[in-house]
Structure formats: C-alpha cells, structure tokens
Structure 1
Amino acid sequence: MKKFDYIIIGTGQAGTPLAFSLAKKGKVAIIEKSLVGGTCVNNGCVPTKAYVASARRMWDSNHGEDLGIEIPAGSKANLEKIKARKETFVHASRNGIEKSFADNENITLYRAEAYFVSDYEIMVNEEKITAKQIFINVGARAVVPEEYKSIDYLTNISILELTSIPKHLVIVGGSYIGLEFGQMFKRFGSEVTILERGDRLIKREDEDVSEAVAKIMQNEDITVSLNAKDITMSQSGAEITVKMNNTQDSIKASHVLLAIGRQPNTDTLKLENTTIEVDDKGMVAVDDFCRTNVEGIFAIGDCNGHGGFTHTSYNDFQIVEAYLLDKEERKISDRITTYGLFIDPPLGRVGMTKKQAVEKGYEVLVASRPMSKIARAKEKGENQGFMEAIIDAKTNLILGANVLGVGGDEIINGFTNLMYAKQPYTVFRDGVHIHPTVTELIPTMLENVSPLSK
C-alpha cells in the first residue's frame, strides 16, 4: 500500500490550491475522476460567464435604437462560435492546472474514481493508498429526479455542449441556475419557459427581489409559470410534451433543462466503509475548521454544505491551510454569506435578507432606492431593479444588502467590506464618491433610513 503525507479527493477550487500548499511540506496524492479544475473551471463560473457575455452582446445589438444607434437588423447568435470561445477559456485554465501538477515533483495526480476502504485507506485505479490527512473535495452535481429520466433532459453541464440554439427551452426550476440559462438562451434566440413549483422565483430572497427579477424575465418575453406542480413529461422523437397541475394544457419543448437543485458527489465514496459522518442529504458534517468527526480528515468545498460557491470553496482552503499551520484564525462561522445572480442586470447579495433579520430578532432599518432614480443608470439605458441596505437599528451596523441593477455584482462588495470591517452604515453614508456613478447614490440612499414596515 502506497503511503502519502496527504490525499486530496477532487481538484476543485479548494482542493487544487491546497495541493500546491501541502506539496511544500510533503508528498501529495490528488485524485480526479472527471475534468481537472472542478465545476468552476469546466461547467460553472468560467463557461457560463463567457456565455453571459455573448448573450449581452446580442442584447446590445437589439437595443441600439434606444440610445440613438441604428444597428442593421439581422444579428444572430452562432452557438458553435460561442461554445468555441468559452472552451478557449476552459482549456487554458484546465491545462494550466494540469501542467502545474505535472511540474511539481511532490504531487501525484490520479485520474480515477476513488472510494474509501476504511477511514484512512482509499482505493484508486485498483491500488490502495493511505495518508494520515485526507481532504474530501468532491463537489456537487445537478439533482435529476426519477420522473425526468425517461426524456432527453439537459443539466448545467450538457447544455454547455449544445451547438445549435434550442427552438423552445423549458427550464424546470426558477432559481439561480435556471434564471441565468433562461435569459442567456432567450437572448441567443430560443423561446424560453421557466417552470417554478413555488409561488415565486428565487424563494430564498425577499419577496421584492423575487418580484423584480420576475419582471426582468418577463420584460424579455420569457414565460414564467409559478406554482407549476405535478409536472409530467413525455417524449416523441425530438419533441418533449410538458404537462403540469393535472390539466390537459401542454407545452411542446425542443429541450428541457433541469435546474432543480444540487446534490453532493459523496455517494460514490463508499463512506459506509468509514466512520465519517454525513447528513441525510449526503453532506459531510464538519466543524468551523472543515474537520470531520474523524481525526485528520477534512471536507472542503460544496460537499460540506457550508457555501456552495467558488469563493466559499476557496475560503475553505484558506481555513484549512491556516489550521494546518497552527493558526486557528479563520473559521466558517466568520464568513459572511455573499453571492451573485448573474442575470442582466445582475443581483449582488450579502448578509441577511429582511425576513432573516426579523426572524433573528433584530430591530431593522431599511434604506432603498430604485435604479430608475439613479442618473447614471438611466444614462446607460439600464434602470431596472433597485438597491437596498438592511441595518441594525441598535448598532447602525449593516446586516445585509442587495444591489439588483447595473453593476450590482461588483457594487455589493462595498457593503461586504463594510460588514467585515464592522463599521456602521454612516461610514458609507458620509463618504465622498465619484460622480457620475451608480454607487454615488448609495450615500444618498443611506441618508433616508426608516423602520421596516411590519
């Protein structure tokens, strides 16, 4: 049995930097059953944001008249070229990681599916390897309920392999992944229908955010069907018939994207051969330092249930690296939730929603401003959405914020920095910002805080 100092299962955004860090101290085995780089590089952030950029160019070509620019009719999305462009980014990132692994004499890359034989023994390529410190970084994948397996469904991975524009794309799931793909493929030229089982889109957000996002979708002629329960599908040739709510009404789709949720890739690890604890969803249970209940075994990234984003996965690496250096200075519990919804205009979110703040017993102040009252947004011709700050009335500290509008995914970081600095909202309010910008209206917004209406 071959012995290593460290074994890492998965080459995602936590496992890869950890491999290079640990290689400075000992021999590292890193195992990958699929594509090196994990979700972000291969079928997450890198490729989808390349597609979002292409979709934006289509939007620009169709809205020149609004800004006095006469663009001849006939712009067309070429999905083969769009796909080829994103693959240049994907391959560059993936090849760079693979080369760095190969060039490091202390890193051994195994290309195979790994599983546990016991707590510290792992089988890979019919070879048993062992280490006293093991790091599980297996990520997550799309949930595919049994009732959809009889049709030719798409996931966030397979939809990125299409080379022709779907005639009618039906998306099951009105949350982050579904909304991003829905808008981009509508802009590429597809008819798009989004089916959401709940009574509103992105239900984890406050209702006003959900309503504003739904309006953005509808303004682009995307059909949004809420309360879409009892969905059944059948396929004849290339056509998929979609029915819901036990009615005879049906939708004829050329393609169906499942964007229902994500599940951890822990089911192939044979954790039943170990004493490692998992929850009922397959998430590996960890403490503040990403440690499992078994000494020396850690779970990092999406599979530990504490984040599900590239930035939280990378922060898991930072937490583990600090812990291994005997510096317990970073903790999962110190992390402030922040993320983006990368539709256009994007949503940047940090901290609590209004509902969460009330449920936690805070006395809440709110400051809000529609993008339609921000001069720079109007001048850009992009005045959909609004910005909002949620404030603790007793301490004046920011509890949360959202910026749904032009530049929202970047602007939100100003609130994030203020929250990590533990400074009152008045610091932002009293700052002098560049004119003319979208962010200069945040201080103006913060001059008018009021109690949250019950």
Structure 2
Amino acid sequence: MAEFDYDLFVIGAGSGGVRASRVSAAHGAKVAVAEEYRVGGTCVIRGCVPKKLLVYGAHFAEDLMDARRFGWNVPECDFDWAALRDNVLAEVTRIEGAYTNTLESHKVDIVHDRATVAGPHEVTLASGKTVTARYILVATGAWPAIPQCPGAEHGITSNEVFHLDALPKRVVVAGAGYIANEFAGIFHGLGSHVTVVNRSDRILRGYDTQISDRLLQISMAKGINFVFNATFEKIEKQADGSLLVFMNDREPLPADCLLFATGRLPNTAGLGLENAGVELDESGAVKVDEDNRSSCDSIFAVGDVTNRVQLTPVAIREGQAFADTVFGNKPHRVDYGCIPSAVFSHPPLAGVGMTETQARQKLGSVKIYTSDFRAMKNVLANRNERALYKMVVDADTNRVVGIHMIGPDAPEILQAAAIAVKAGLTKQAFDDTIALHPSMAEELVLLK
C-alpha cells in the first residue's frame, strides 16, 4: 500500500496551483488539487482576464469618437452594461473549462471542496474527509483588503465588480494602486462619474513618478476626480439605495457604488497552517525559502499567498519551479529581477527595471532619456493626450537599467523592451537599431 493518498495535494486552483499540479503530474506524481470556488483563481475568474476585457469594452467610447475624424459616420451609440458583463462572464466560463480540461488530461484529481491543513501530511476537506499527501502546496492567493470603518459592508471589491446588475452612475474608488486606476478608467469610459479617493498624496506608488504623474494629469483632463490625503470615517446607505461616503475634513461624497481597491492580503485565514507549524509573516503571508518551502519541510507555497510579487506570471513561474524541483529532477529557482509590469489604465502604462529614483539611490550616476510625444492616431483624432517614454541608464556602464512608458499599447511594446533590459543591453544597442517607422515603438531607439 502507498504511504500517502497522493504525492502532492494542492490547495487552490489558481494560476500557480494549476501550473504546479499539471507539471507535477506530467513528471509522474499522483496529484490532487482542491478548489472551493472555481478553477482558474483570481486571474481567470475575478482579476486579470475579465478586467482586461472590460478595459477593451470601455475604450470603445474613445475609439468610436475618434473614428469620426477618420471618416467613419459613427452615430451616437448607447452602451449596454448587461451585454458586456454577460459576454465577459461567458468568456471566463470558457477559460475555466479549458483550465479544467488541462488538469483532467494530465490525470489530476480536482476536488471541488474547501481544504484545510490538518498536519504536515494531512488535509481535511469541508465534507469531513481526510486526505494524506507526501507534499502539500498552498496556492490560495490573496484577498481584497477592506478598510475598517462603519458601513464598510456597503462597499464592494474587485471580487464583486464583474457581477453588478447595472452600471452605476456615480462611482467612488478607494485606493490609488493599479486596480483602482484600472477600474477608474473602466467606469469613466463606460460613462460613470468617477472619484478616486486615496489616503496619500500620490497614485501608483512603486512606479516611476514621472510616468504616474502623467497618468494623473491625463485622468484629470478626462474628467476623473481625485481626492488625496483622505481617510474614510463612515459609509451610510440612503433610503434610495445610494451611499454617502464620509471622509476626514471633507464634504461627504454621494455614490451609487463604492469600490474598495485598497490592496490585497494573503489568503491564509482559517487555512489551518498552524496545525503543521507553518510560519506566517505579519501580513499573514506564508514564509518560504528560495525553493518555495515553508517552515514545515513537507509544505510549500507559491503565488500571492507568499506576498513576494503579486503577479500572475510570477505565480506560474513559481509553480513551474516547484514542480520541476520536487518531482522533475530539474531544480531551479525563480529570478525576481527585472519583472515587467503594467497598469491597464486609460491610457495604459508599463515599466521594467529600476525607476529613476531607485537608480539614483543605487547607482548614483545615471542618465535619463525621454520622448514626450503625441501618437499619430491622437494627432489626427484631435486628441491632446501625450505619450511619455523614459529610459534609465547607468552612466558608468551605459547599460539600460529601466524603461518606463505611458501611452497606447505601452504594455505590448514593453514586453519586448523588457528582454533588452533583462539581457543587460546598453543604450548604444538601442541607438544602433534602425527604427520601425511609423510606429510608437520606434521612439525607444530614437531617445535623446
């Protein structure tokens, strides 16, 4: 008889958990994955995928307006929130099915139940069944953080925003990170009046200041309101179902929807990790070493639950590294240097490597090259919105250590540029590359 029911039991079928399950099974391990909600996790079900589809939907407002300058006789168009919502949710269901089929084709057992850790090699399902495994992988992701104030229960998070019955006329977005700015752009594009409320005096902390400042300028010019240095005191629900949002030293804000986008916390509450002596940090994240192993030798963790880098591709890389190391006899570790990231705002921004501030602090002597321009499409459309590309260069070695940009298709352009930064190419390598004209991307090899 086998010593354990499974070689690997994975808790959470998000991006990291699915990759780890599939690859471990491909290496010959007997694998089960438990998912209490839907296969696909945050990214597929209530994150990156449906959000990006809403971004596309919202951008049609500007595209239809601009089309008239390009000769298209576009009539006044009405927007149907229910149609977009339902089509997006249908696509989510399709992708969930694809993820499920991938697991099943690799003979991974899918357990549609909540699982908690009962010991170093033991998992208890909500049904009461106990399962044993040689290794346990925690891949439960993160959960939206909600400010503690009276009436907070009247707000929603990114978990619920994709299921709204109707498009709210007035939206208050709490927070100023990437989720907040993305949904501010979405709701504004779809026709809502949007106010972003932030407890500090800047948006997108961690991104290059010059780029985030440009997004703030463009967002304000579009009509999105921003309230800075504000804290919530209480939220009151009115007789007509609307909300009144009270903040410090300010007039209360009326709203039809309050969206909390104030960060995400590792999803470890009630998971039973203490039963196996798994150590958590002050945010509730599972502490792991470079091989994703927790303080309990038989329990590992990948993805947002570790609070290292909360990005889907990182969770996937961690799941791959775990499977290859533990079951594939191909040990390797994730390189967390030069991870590109993007904000799918209106317009989008993207960056890789060090910001100007980080480079000056770490390297001392740096050179900054920028291009501040209007995209050709915006010129003909009579749209004053300007793109900004920025390159950060180590003055001593001429090596490009950071690229940051805001403008149409910035994330699509940055993915290729990130390879150059990761490879350690110099500014001269960019200068020696002939421009692809006419394109926005050519500005990267013309920076002065």
TM-score by length of 1: 0.92
Q: Tell me, in whole angstroms, the C-alpha distance in 2 between the residues paired with 1:187 and 1:18.
A: 38
CA-to-partner distance for each residue in 1:297-335, whole Å, 9 max, x for gaps?
2211111112111111111123223323333343344x4
Q: Which residue number in structure 1 is paired with residue 114 of structure 2?
A: 113
Q: Tell me, in whole angstroms, the C-alpha distance in 1 between the residues paired with 2:431 and 2:346.
A: 27
Match of 1:240 among 238, 243, 250: 243
Q: Which residue number in structure 2 is paired with residue 345 of structure 1?
A: 347
Match of 1:51 among 54, 67, 77: 54
Instruction: Give the 5 Å matches for 1:249-288.
Output: 249-288=251-290
Q: Which range moved further: 338-347 or 313-322?
A: 313-322
Residues 1:327 and 2:345 aligned together = no
Q: Which residue number in structure 2 is paired with residue 158 of structure 1?
A: 160
Shift of 1:259: 0.5
SS of 2:446's partner is helix
Q: Which residue number in structure 2 is paired with residue 452 of structure 1?
A: none
Q: Which runs of 5+ in 1 are unaligned?
A: 449-454
Match of 1:72 among 72, 75, 86: 75
CA-to-partner distance for each residue in 1:409-438, whole Å, 9 max, x for gaps?
111123210122222222122111321111
Shift of 1:135: 1.1
Q: 1:171 to 1:270 in 2, by over 3 A?
A: same
Shift of 1:48: 0.8
Q: 1:62 to 1:375 in 2, by over 3 A?
A: closer
Q: What is the CA RMSD across the aligned residues, in angstroms?
A: 2.0
The one-letter code of the counterpart of 1:210 is S
Match of 1:360 among 362, 367, 374: 362
Instruction: Give the 5 Å matches for 1:264-413.
Output: 264-324=266-326, 325-333=328-336, 335-372=337-374, 375=376, 378-379=379-380, 383-413=385-415
Kept in 2, the 8 Å contact 1:174–1:201? The answer is: yes
Instruction: Give the 5 Å matches for 1:435-450.
Output: 435-445=437-447, 448=448
Kept in 2, the 8 Å contact 1:8–1:31? The answer is: yes
Shift of 1:22: 1.5
SS of 1:330's partner is coil
CA-to-partner distance for each residue in 1:139-165, whole Å, 9 max, x for gaps?
011101231555421110211101311
Kept in 2, the 8 Å contact 1:377–1:406? The answer is: no
Shift of 1:17: 2.0
Match of 2:41 among 38, 60, 63: 38
Shift of 1:351: 1.2
Q: Tell me, in whole angstroms, the C-alpha distance in 2 between the residues paired with 1:386 and 1:48.
A: 24
Q: 1:191 to 1:378 in 2, by over 3 A?
A: same
Q: Tell me, in whole angstroms, the C-alpha distance in 1 between the residues paired with 2:70 and 2:220.
A: 22
Q: Tell me, in whole angstroms, the C-alpha distance in 2 between the residues paired with 1:62 and 1:375.
A: 16
Q: Determine which structure has greater relative contact order: mean sequence separation of CA pairs < 8 Å that are 6+ residues apart, divided by chain length.
A: 2
Q: Which residue number in structure 1 is paired with residue 185 of structure 2?
A: 183
Shift of 1:396: 1.7
CA-to-partner distance for each residue in 1:270-289, whole Å, 9 max, x for gaps?
21212212100011112222
Shift of 1:183: 1.2
Kept in 2, the 8 Å contact 1:289–1:332? The answer is: no
Q: Tell me, in whole angstroms, the C-alpha distance in 2 between the residues paired with 1:92 and 1:128.
A: 32
Kept in 1, the 8 Å contact 2:198–2:230? The answer is: yes
Q: Tell me, in whole angstroms, the C-alpha distance in 1 between the residues paired with 2:151 and 2:318.
A: 34
Kept in 2, the 8 Å contact 1:168–1:192? The answer is: yes
Q: 1:112 to 1:148 in 2, by over 3 A?
A: farther
Shift of 1:103: 4.4
Kept in 1, the 8 Å contact 2:174–2:258? The answer is: yes
Match of 1:147 among 142, 146, 149: 149
The one-letter code of the counterpart of 1:133 is Y
The one-letter code of the counterpart of 1:265 is N
Shift of 1:296: 3.3
SS of 1:81's partner is helix
Q: 1:234 to 1:133 in 2, by over 3 A?
A: same
The one-letter code of the counterpart of 1:27 is K
Match of 2:97 among 71, 95, 98: 95
Q: Tell me, in whole angstroms, the C-alpha distance in 1 between the residues paired with 2:378 and 2:285.
A: 42
Q: What is the aligned residue count?
A: 441
SS of 1:412's partner is helix
Instruction: Give the 5 Å matches for 1:157-236.
Output: 157-236=159-238
Over the matched positions of the two proteins, sequence identity in percent amounts to 26
Q: Which range moved further: 47-56 or 201-210?
A: 201-210
SS of 2:88's partner is helix
Q: Which runs of 5+ in 2 are unaligned?
A: none
Q: 1:434 to 1:380 in 2, by over 3 A?
A: farther
